[in-house]
A and B are shown apart, each in its own frame.
Chain A
Amino acid sequence: MSLLEELKSLGVDVDGGVKRLAGKQALYERMMFKFLDMMKKSVVSPDFDSNDYGEVIEIAHALKGAAGNLSVTPVYEAYGKIVDLLRSQQPEEARKVLKDVLPVQGKILDCIERHANA
């Protein structure tokens, strides 16, 4: 299966993302590889400090923006909720959302990584 087909099966709105890039599939794929780099560098760990999570908000906010622009819908929606919950001082609820999305996020990133190395 191609990268884009596989991403579709994992809930990524590939058509929306490609459309945003003027229909350029190759550019979209390159952006997905950059997204992988970004996700590796900007990790939000589920054991973040319940009393000091300002930096977590910033990282989650940046991930939300990039995921939204590439239409990585499950990641975009989850990090959007995480940002909202943390801003309304509900760290435990945010932690739950983060734990729920990590397996899906892991599959998406694995998929991109396999194709990047192929």
Chain B
Amino acid sequence: MAKKISRSDISESDIFGGVKASAEGAITVIDELNDALKKSAETLSKDIKGVKFGSAKEIKEFTKAIKEANKLKEDTVKLDKERAKFIQEIEKIEQQEEKTKQQKIKTQQQELRLARQLKQEKEKENKTRQRAIKLENDENNAYKKLVKSTRDQKNESKRLAVELINLERAGKKNSKEWRKLNTEYKKVTKSAQQGDKALKKIDGTVGDNFRNVGNYRQALGKLTSVLGGLGLAFGGIQLLRSAGKTVADFGQSVADLTAITGASGKDLEFFKKQAIELGKDVEGGATAVVEAYKLIASAKPELLENAEALDAVTQSAITLSQASGLDLPDASIRLTDALNQFGAPAEQAGKFIDILANGAKFGSAEIPQITDALLKFGSVSKTTNVSIAESTALIEALAEKGLKGAEAGTALRNIMIKLSAPDALPKKAQDALNKLGISFEDLTDESKPFSERLKALKPLLDDNGALMDVFGLQNEVAAINLLESTDRVAELTEMMDKNGTATEQAEERTGTLAFALIQVKNAWDSWILSMSEGTGASEGFTWVLQKLAENFTTIMKVIIRIGFAWVTYKTAILGAKAVTFLFGGGLQDMYKQMVKSVRGFKLMGRGAKKMGRDVKSAGKAMYAVPWIAIIALVTELAIALYNASSASAELRRQQMLTDAYTQTSNEQAQKRITERTDTNAKEVAELERKRDVELASVKDTKKRMEIEAKFLKQKEKIISSTKKVIKADITLVNNQKARFKPFKEELDLINKKIKAEGKAHTQTEAMIDLQKRVAKELKLEGDASWVSWFTGEKDLVTFKKVQRTINAKIAGANEKLKLYHGELDNISESQKDINTEITVQNIKITDNTDKVKGLTGATKKLNAEFSDQIKFMKELNDLKEDSLALDKDIAELETEKKVEEKEEKIEDAVKKAVNLARTKGVAEIGVAMDLIGEKEEMLIKGAERELDFSIKQAQKEHDLKFQLLQANLDKELKEKLTQKGLTPEQIQSIKDGYKREQNELDFLKIEAQKTLNKEITVLTKETEADIRGIKKETADEEIQLLTDVNEAQEEFEEKQRGADTKTNDKRLADLREWADKSRAIIKAVSDFWIKKSNEKIAGYDKEISKAEEQSKILQKLAENGNINAQQSLAEQNRLIAEANKKKLAEERKQQAVKQASVILETYLSKVEADEKNPLLATIQDIALLNAFIATIPSALEGTEDTGANGVGIDGKGGFHAILHPNERVLTKEQNRKVGNLSNEELASFANEYNTGQLINKSGAYQIGNGWNTGAIVERLESLENTIKNKPETNVQIEDIVQGAMTITRETRKGNSKVYNRYKIKG
């Protein structure tokens, strides 16, 4: 067993981490000290540079300063040395870490290798042991002995048969040697046959039929041929290969898990089982899950003691992986890292992933960035009592300011460390905190949330120097961001506690076609693994393929369904009416059927598990056909693509029309605005002309002022009336828009209904009425296709066109409104300016009156005059400010009121939309969305107005400040000039002084304006941020609306599914139609098979008949003693037997097809009867039938005795039995005569008798009750006589005498001899 990973192994990196962190901390401190030294150096440098050595004191101070400079330098050198040392140390640690890491990897690899070796050795050992046990068992086991002896005898029989053949070929048939061999052969063969028979009997008794099943290759071959017969491709080899790899990878992965974690026995089984189950929903499957177990167990060794806890954390890692898009190993590492950083137990894994997901959802940083940051400061968070939720909120708050990942983590670590121990801060920093009244107790109070502790530091925001002293230059930006975001941190922290977000996000991310395909593949892999885990890979495979073949008929109907749908789809797509088909909902119907099929599959697979073995097998076999699911998913993809393309086309058309209307409206509105502007300009010019004429004839200041005031009032009047005209235009456009809106809502409803039902509607009265109203309103009567836009493709297009027109008109109206509102805003501003001018003018008039009065009285002093002037200016400014503030308050109040009204409207619209979705299933969200959009617009305008006010106010304050300064300067000048007895030089000097001060004032004014501009930029940016916030809120509101409506719609659909009987009837009618079509296909397929099968059977019959005729002829020849004929007869009989066997097999196939047809018919009937799960019901029925059939005795293998235990169903002790074609049944009496002969022996005898190896009827009757010896004697006597009377002839050649040769012929008959001599001359 490999060494377990110990806790110390895992914590090694932490030791390094601590040292490293401490070194890094030291570097930070050194850097801060360096910064302080640098500052001192800068100050000192300035001092030294200015030394002139003018006095002893100066020289003394200089001496002191150079000492200080030297000390600073020495300190810096020392610090640099220390810093370099720490850097070296960090580098060393990093090298050490890397070395340890490498060492660890090496050790792990070695351990793995060792584990593998051990495993292999163990396996080898096991195999050897098992083989020995098997051998021993075989030797001791009677059954095995029989198997062995039978096998040996079979082999011996084969060997002898070959030798016999060889002898026959050598012409030694019937020789002594041959006969001996033949006797032995028969003996051995008979014994082998008896052994085989006995074995089959034993196997049959225990239900083991393996002797009738080939290996998996045969099973695969069978399946492939069956599929091939139907023209379906089946990549058997590829399936095998892929499955083999899956099994091998998984095996390796499990071996690694054992090596690293030491898991074994029950725990290992549990992990394997869970990995297979969880792997179904994980990219990478069961192997990836095992990998995750490994990583998590390594990171949290305490989990090694608790398999369930390890599994639970792994499940959380899977959810995190799915929610974040990280791969599972990465997600596992990040989750355990986070848990370890906070020292959290495994039970909190679920909470952690929800917090991470909440962070990603409500903030800017994604999960990987959050975990990167946590890795840097998690442990510090833990020690400073900052929860994972608040830590995540802190990360998100910094992310919103652009600081993310490890960088944010490091900054947070530094800040937390400083806050946790303010006493350890440099003295300067402590002084700064004390000066600002920041309590150290508040900072270190760990009972408070961290955001509260941060709040205590807020005064630092007003003192940059102190901020830098406390946090150092490196952390300054992060600290500012955090201090500015304390409220946001608190807000985010609350959001982090929402439960279930990780699961929600995981579901969202995995609800894709790509993930569905991964799931299909994983389902297949899981199934393969579960098979291999249960029975061993190769056995599992054989079983699968066998079951696939056996249950092919059941599987076929699903394929037919999908195939039918697929063919319909292809035909429709390729055909000219493809568009009509798609619009008519054909594709959707087909798709629904497919999805049903796939669902049926899964359901059946699940339900089947609870049933008997046969049903279970069928269920699993069918579950293992992934391509069906793939076809369905491909179709889904096709639909998605179609929808996307058609939707984008529609969007394009909509956009074009909207652009056109927006353009026209823009032009119309611009024209109106230009006309108004021109008219205004002309009228104002006329007024100016009149004013100038009047002014030309008047010299009195007051009167001139009055003329000016009059002019302003008239100008204001013109603007006021123009405002009224603009408002009238706005009302007009709003009215137009209001007229379109109800129609748009109604049209949207109809559109939704069409979409929901998937096909065109028949026109209803309400629709025709609406059509007329809309047509009248939009002036669309002239559109020919409008009349019946619900009846077909063309009409649907027109319907879309109508919708587009309405949408475009609304967009056009909005464009006009936008421009008119802009114009109104501008003119309102002008009006306000004029009002201000009027006020100023009035003040001037009053002021002038006072001055005049003062002059006439000649008693008022000049000082008073100027004081009054300044006072007036102040008052005037206050007035302007009041006016502006009032405008702003009024506008704010109005906006608030409008927003409140809008919110009420939104609430109503949302309620309506939700009700509509709940009651009618229609998602009509247009009105609510528009209102939310309008609210957003209002809020944004409000924010912009506030910005505008703030800018104006700031500008006015600036102006006033300089007006006052200017006034004071003027006052001073006048005061000086009014002094008595001034010489011209003195006057000139006063004037020069004034000029200088004036220049300075002007310069100051420009500089102040620059500062003001910067302030304005800040204000603008803040407003932009506010606007972003408003937009985000709007988006949230819209998402909420969509969620509510979707939920309501789902509720409706749920209700609808249960209650809508009308739809149900239609569905049933569709099902019936589908069943009829399927029936037709099934019938065609069955008929084809049966026809082909019948043709084959007829061929076999013909073959048998001819062979039998031939056999008869040979029989006769054999009877006449023809040896060759006897041999041919045996061959002929063999051929007949073979043909009969083939015929039998074919008849069985035919029966299987008929049975399949019956099963399909049963299934279709169940569908028509609207069974909840027709497939399952069919299988249950078939399973019952199979179970019943299994109880009926069968003599397919033949039987010598049917036994004595009948049930007496016919009063004679009879019972049901299954017979097959061409079997023979003997009566009890006949069977008694056969005696102890086995069927095989009986058949052999009969065969030998038939082939003439036994003497036949015409030659002897000895096969019967006894020997008829008389007949034999008679025969023998006859034979003796024949032999006696048989003539014998002998020819001899005599000597040659006188050139002639003599030949003598001796003929003997009975006891007499006759000699004949012949002479032959040459």
A and B interact physically: no
Residues of B participating in the A interface, judged by any CB pair closer than 8 Å: none
- Measured CB to CB, the residues of A under 8 A from B are none
